[in-house]
Structure 1
Amino acid sequence: MPELPEVEALREFLDARLVGKEIARVLPVAISVLKTYDPPLGALDGATVTAVDRHGKYLDVTAGGLHLLVHLARAGWLQWRDDLPAAPPRPGRGPLALRTALSGGDGFDLTEAGTTKRLAVHLVRDPAEVPGVARLGPDPLAEDFDRDAFAALLAGERRQVKGALRDQGLVAGIGNAYSDEILHAARMSPFKPVHRLTDDDVTTLYEALRTTLADALARSRGTEAGRLKAEKKSGLRVHGRTGEPCPVCGDTIREVSFSDSSLQYCPTCQTGGKPLADRRLSRLLK
């Protein structure tokens, strides 16, 4: 799933290619992709793109006073094409979900792999009309997101720190991969209860959060859309690397599996050498 660094890199990529261009047509291919009906997609025909913004993991293309918001979800992606086919795409079983064609013949496709369709496109007059945007917490790379602001968000939390980091209503843009990376950098168990974090723990976690995301964004920035997935994977130290040696201590990276996801961690760096039990079978380690 693309997270804050990749979505911000996509925003910059699109900003350089879309702003000032005229939209010829936006063509939904998969029935499930479009989540709104008023205004209709045809309202974008002939509109000029004036901005490309980001809200957490949402891309926001502004044209004709309207906002085309895209959430790529777990298996969605954006593919830029300098020369789009002249014929309109045909609905089918392929990965193509939506095509945005510009008057110059270029544009981009939204694709989604797999059978579970979660990629979402909204056309609205105000981004806050999209529930997922309206509930977003602060952007963790914003200039005013300092250590005290982070501490205030955590105050009163009673859940595990992994879940808190992934909550888009608490902090926007962090998903499964970068929460693993942040916790590894902070040398902290993903199951540590937030209410047991000391002041020093909060400081360490905040610094790991900012550094991990900033470094990932720096690696992603300037990368073409088609290469961002590979760039993300190459920079991950623990997430998706079960069985490999930890790049910090050399211990074997381990995994805890859930019904629809998994997390990875280093026992030596994060849990005092203790393997974490399966969350479904025993109580969480602190």
Structure 2
Amino acid sequence: MPELPEVEALTDFLAERLVGRGIERVLPTAVSVLKTYDPPLVDLQGRAVTAVRRHGKFLDVVTDDGPHLVFHLARAGWLRWREDLPEAPPRPGKGPLALRVRLAGGDGFDLTEAGTRKRLAVYCVREPADVPGIAGLGPDPLAPEFTLEAFAALLRDERRQLKGVLRDQSVIAGIGNAYSDEILHAARMSPFKLAASLTDEETAALYQALGTTLREAVERSRGHAAAELKAEKKGGMRVHGRTGQPCPVCGDTIREVSFSDSSLQYCPTCQTGGKPLADRRLSRLLK
């Protein structure tokens, strides 16, 4: 799933190619992809793109005095830029193509989604806040107003585990499964530590790890074409997706905890005092 750094890079990538250009057609090919009906997609046709923005993990294509085209790539979605799109509209079918945006001039991009669980979402709205997922977003961790004091206030009354808090988009926007693993490893904290139990020193350390991890990932992603971002993300991970490999900090074996539809990775030496964590279905630490 693309997270804040990759979506930030996609925002820059699209802004370079879309701003000042006219939208010729927006063509959905998957029944499940379009989540709104008013305004209709045809209202985007003939309008010029004035900006491309990011809201958490959402991409927002802004048009001149017209609707916003907002999309969330979800777990298996992706954006594919194409220099020469066919003039004929694509046929709806069972393939990965979910929506096509063709610009005046013939280039544009496809939104695709692999697998059978279709979660990629596209919205045509008058304002970004009309998208429920955007309206409920917490603060952006790269925004200037996201200070240590603001972060501490978010955690103060949180009785949940850090892993869940970092992934909750209503608490902090843009962090998903992968970067929450990376942040917690950099902060040397267990993913199951309760957020409200952090000392002032631990809160400061987690805040520093969060900012550093995300900013470094954004810099690594910046300038890459859309097709390269998945590999760039994977290559920059230190613990996430690296079960069984040595920790790059201490050399211990990276462990995994599996859930019904996801997993987390961590280093026992760096994060849990050397104790392997039990599968959460057991709800306890291995002794």
Give the letter for the 1:4 counterpart: L
Q: Which residue of 2 aligns with 1:43?
A: 43
Give the letter for the 1:23 counterpart: I
Deviations 1:75-132 (A, max 9, x none): 0000011111222111111100000000111000000000000000000001111110
| CA distance in structure 2 between the partners assigned to 1:126 and 1:241 by the alignment | 40
- Contact 2:60–2:70 (CA under 8 A) maintained in structure 1: yes
| CA distance in structure 1 between the partners assigned to 2:266 and 2:156 by the alignment | 25
| CA distance in structure 1 between the partners assigned to 2:195 and 2:226 by the alignment | 36
| CA distance in structure 1 between the partners assigned to 2:88 and 2:43 by the alignment | 21
Deviations 1:4-41 (A, max 9, x none): 00000000000010000000000001010000001110
Name the SS of the counterpart of 1:43 in structure 2.
helix
Give the letter for the 2:14 counterpart: L
Instruction: Please give the residue correspondences for 1:73-152 in structure 2 after superposition, counting only pairs within 5 Å.
Output: 73-152=74-153
Question: How many residues matched?
Answer: 285
- Unmatched runs of 5 consecutive residues or more in structure 1: none
Q: Which residue of 2 aligns with 1:246?
A: 247
Could you tell which deviates more after superposition, 122-131 or 83-92?
83-92
Q: Which residue of 2 aligns with 1:215?
A: 216
Name the SS of the counterpart of 2:95 in structure 1.
coil
| CA distance in structure 2 between the partners assigned to 1:179 and 1:56 by the alignment | 14
Could you tell which deviates more after superposition, 26-35 or 138-147?
138-147
- Contact 1:158–1:195 (CA under 8 A) maintained in structure 2: yes
Deviations 1:213-243 (A, max 9, x none): 0000000000000000000000000000101
- Contact 1:267–1:273 (CA under 8 A) maintained in structure 2: yes
| CA distance in structure 2 between the partners assigned to 1:128 and 1:280 by the alignment | 37
Q: Which residue of 1 aligns with 2:160?
A: 159
The alignment-based identity, stated in percent, is: 75
Name the SS of the counterpart of 1:279 in structure 2.
coil
Whether 1:70 aligns to 2:71 is yes
Q: Which residue of 1 aligns with 2:187?
A: 186
- Contact 1:76–1:110 (CA under 8 A) maintained in structure 2: yes
Name the SS of the counterpart of 1:256 in structure 2.
strand
Deviations 1:36-87 (A, max 9, x none): 0011101111011011001000000011421110100000000011111222
| CA distance in structure 2 between the partners assigned to 1:134 and 1:226 by the alignment | 29
| CA distance in structure 2 between the partners assigned to 1:44 and 1:282 by the alignment | 50
- Contact 1:13–1:222 (CA under 8 A) maintained in structure 2: yes
Aligned-pair RMSD on alpha carbons?
A: 0.9
Give the letter for the 1:21 counterpart: R
Whether 1:22 aligns to 2:22 is yes
| CA distance in structure 1 between the partners assigned to 2:193 and 2:121 by the alignment | 33
Could you tell which deviates more after superposition, 82-91 or 166-175?
82-91
CA apart distance, 1:283? 2.8
| CA distance in structure 2 between the partners assigned to 1:86 and 1:233 by the alignment | 35
TM-score by length of structure 2 reads: 0.98
Name the SS of the counterpart of 1:185 in structure 2.
helix
| CA distance in structure 2 between the partners assigned to 1:24 and 1:282 by the alignment | 54
- Contact 2:276–2:285 (CA under 8 A) maintained in structure 1: no
Q: Which residue of 2 aligns with 1:53?
A: 53
Give the letter for the 2:145 counterpart: D
CA apart distance, 1:144? 1.7
CA apart distance, 1:281? 1.0
Q: Which residue of 1 aligns with 2:10?
A: 10
TM-score by length of structure 1 reads: 0.98
- Unmatched runs of 5 consecutive residues or more in structure 2: none
Structure 1: 4+ residue segments shifted above 6 A: none
Give the letter for the 1:51 counterpart: A
Q: Which residue of 1 aligns with 2:275?
A: 274
| CA distance in structure 2 between the partners assigned to 1:283 and 1:41 by the alignment | 50
CA apart distance, 1:284? 5.7
